[in-house]
Amino acid sequence: MSVKTLVIDGKDVSGNDNQTVMEVARENGIRIPALCHLDGLTPVGACRMCVIEVKGLNKLLPACVTRIEEGMEVSTNSDRLQRYRRTILELLFSERNHICSVCVSNGHCDLQGLAARHGVTHVSVPYRYPSCPVDATHSRFILDHNRCILCTRCVRVCDEVEGAHTWDVMGRGIEARVITDLNQQWGTSGSCTSCSKCVHVCPTGALSEKGKSVAEMAKHREFLPYLKQMREDHR
């Protein structure tokens, strides 16, 4: 392991060569927005909210999966990046039916929170209004595809932390959907342990506990870095 030095937003910083730009930025108090990324899960670079500019490269890189390099000069918050992030958020809102006012996660939602922080006061692209099913067959939880942004946090936490791999993604592009087991009703899943980890890492109201009404579904994610740390310590 060797130490590498780089510049992020004009600040001289350093990190180990196996660290990502996102990790080193956070260690140094520089906040790069993220949506699919969650501490404790393998980063996948799916949502693109964490895009950064690197001097000498004309393409943008996702900070959550980009390893630091010696001498790198990173910009995390330019006007262009802000504009792209707003567009990403608007596209996410337009893709499914995110009705914040009647959502279980109103006030606790990562998508809603990021929109507020990035000054998204309206969605400039036309809404799609797709017809999306709700799966309420599980005895304790509900899957509402209307609110899903395909971040795959549920897929990763179920596979990497719980070890059940109940969740996966089926279909391509705009037709992609998260599924349980072999695309069957969640209530009939033989692999689901009902641990609720997926529900709590879900950034929106796509996964919720039954019995929760509007704005009642606060998520608790403290367990994730804790479980990860415990496992690493016992390795």
Partner 1 sequence: MKARVATVWLDGCSGCHMSFLDMDERLVELAEKADIVYGPLADTKEFPENVDVTLVEGAVSSEEDLHKILIIRKNSRIVVSLGDCAVTSNVPSMRNSVGTDAILFRAYRENATHALQIPDKVIPKLLPRAVPVHEVVKVDVFIPGCPPSADTIFEAVMGLLTGQKADLASLTRFGA
For the CB of residue 134, give the shortest distance to partner 1 in the complex, in Å.
12
Does 132 interact with partner 1 (rule: CB under 8 A)? yes
Binding residue for partner 1, selected from 17, 71, 129, 169, defined by CB under 8 A: 129
For the CB of residue 219, give the shortest distance to partner 1 in the complex, in Å.
16
Binding residue for partner 1, selected from 16, 124, 183, 194, defined by CB under 8 A: 124
Binding residue for partner 1, selected from 3, 99, 134, 182, defined by CB under 8 A: 99
Q: Which residues of 184-210 are buried (b: 16+ CB within 10 A; e: fewer)?
A: eebeebeebeebebbbbbbbbbbbbbe
Does 115 interact with partner 1 (rule: CB under 8 A)? yes
Distances (CA, A) of 114 to 2, 34, 85: 35, 9, 9
Does 213 interact with partner 1 (rule: CB under 8 A)? no
Report the side by side order of strands in the sheet with 3-8: 11-16, 3-8, 73-75, 51-54, 61-62
For residue 9, give every residue at least 6 positions away whose Cβ sits within 8 Å of its Cβ, in sequence order, or none.
30, 74, 75, 76, 77
Count residues binding partner 1 (CB under 8 A).
Answer: 26
DSSP class of residue 20 equals B
Does 2 interact with partner 1 (rule: CB under 8 A)? no
Interface contacts to partner 1, rule CB under 8 A? 93, 97-103, 106-107, 112, 115-116, 118-124, 126-127, 129-132
